[in-house]
Amino acid sequence: MRFMRNESGASAVEFAMLLPVFLTIIFGIVVFGSYLTMVHGVQQLAAEAARTSIAGLNDSECNSLATSYVTTNLGSYPLLDATKVSVTAAPSGADANIYIVTVQYDASSDFIFALPFTPRLPFPITRSAVIPYGGF
């Protein structure tokens, strides 16, 4: 009967039961937060590269401006590795008055996503920005 009233280890048992749930939630926040930060960074790079490209006089110059913008400003995004980024900038095949800049980032080999218990997220991250010639 005395054993049933003894509550000295109840806190340790509750802690042991809730710690895995708590750590799973925290780890999920970190993993998905990192992924969403990368997606946002790639989208921002594509949008700003498209805005920069409108200063070009021809397609070759537009492509050069977009690519140089991405390579120059990639360092300001701490989760993105410059060796895993590719930029494609070209006029649209459907509309001759539209220029499309696409930035692709392969994060599949990043440490946090290579862990065995991390869910499989869609890689590579690809985002595009469309801007009309002349900027309007």
Q: What is the count of structural domains for the chain? A: 1
2 domain residue, yes or no: no
56 domain residue, yes or no: yes
**Span 44-68, pLDDT tens digits:** 999 999 999 999 888 899 999 999 9
pTM metric for this prediction? 0.84
Strand order across the beta sheet in which 98-105 lies: 85-91, 98-105, 125-132
In this predicted structure, the answer to whether residue 136 has a pLDDT above a threshold of 90 is: no
**Span 15-45, pLDDT tens digits:** 999 999 999 999 989 989 999 999 999 999 9
Q: Measured between alpha carbons, how far is 50 from 67 in angstroms, rounded to an integer? A: 10
16 domain residue, yes or no: yes
Q: What is the largest CA-CA distance in the chain?
A: 89
Q: How confident is the model at residue 3 (pLDDT cuts 50, 70, 90)?
A: low
What tokens does 29 get?
Answer: 């926040």
Residues 6+ apart with CB under 8 A from 1: none
Per-residue HEC secondary structure of 13-47 comes to: HHHHHHHHHHHHHHHHHHHHHHHHHHHHHHHHHHH
| pLDDT the model gives residue 1 | 59
**Span 85-134, pLDDT tens digits:** 999 999 998 988 899 999 999 998 888 888 777 788 888 999 999 999 86
For 93, the domain range is 7-132
1 domain residue, yes or no: no
21 domain residue, yes or no: yes
